[in-house]
Amino acid sequence: MMATSVTKKETGRIHPHKFTLWVAMASIIMAFAGLTSAYIVKKNQSNWLEFQLPLVFWYSTAVIIISSVTMHLALKSFKVREMQRYRSLITVTAILGIVFTVLQYVGFQHLEKAGISLVGAKSNPAASFLLVITGLHMVHVLGGVIALLVIFFRAFRTSVKQYSPVPLEIAATYWHFVDLLWIYLFIFYNWVG
């Protein structure tokens, strides 16, 4: 009698969590496409206020791009089991995500100090759209920061060693997505909208 062993074959199927992430990202893209379309339509009205984004938004853009690089390097380090480098890079990525959010907040404060009200009776639709769209992006970045913090704490936990790259791949994909989404919004605000 011949003994057969069943081995798990690569089926070429996408992991269910990755599939869920891609569906979620598609819906987020649709939401931002709708918001930026509404921005363009509203911009054609007579009460639209033209203003430049404060310089701090350029800094935040650089920070999120750098964070995407550190996230890529963290995933690469994890896959080759360079755990100390992985821990350092995931820490830097989480910190950069927080710095990005803080810089965005500072940018809104600069607008308020320049007399551009974001909400309230003195607000203008241009500033309110900026707040809503960018604020929604910041919420998505904070979701990514929370995921990074979970991964961060797992990286330093000594009791359980899990070497599946799937959770980190999902977090990296989402992180790159919010990076690209911000680059789209930044270009949109500065040159399209």
DSSP the chain: -------PPP--PPPHHHHHHHHHHHHHHHHHHHHHHHHHHHHTSTTPPP-PPPTHHHHHHHHHHHHHHHHHHHHHHHHTT-HHHHHHHHHHHHHHHHHHHHHHHHHHHHHHHTT--SSSTT--HHHHHHHHHHHHHHHHHHHHHHHHHHHHHHHH-SS-----SHHHHHHHHHHHHHHHHHHHHHHIIIII-
Query: pLDDT, tens digit, for every residue of 21-56?
Result: 899 899 999 999 999 999 998 888 888 888 888 999
Q: Is residue 45 part of a domain?
A: no
CATH number, domain with residue 173: 1.20.120.80
> What is the predicted pLDDT for the residue at 133?
92
Domain count across the chain:
1
Residue 20 pLDDT more than 90? no
- pTM over cut 0.85: no
> What is the predicted pLDDT for the residue at 2?
45
Q: Is residue 114 part of a domain?
A: yes
Q: Is residue 122 part of a domain?
A: yes
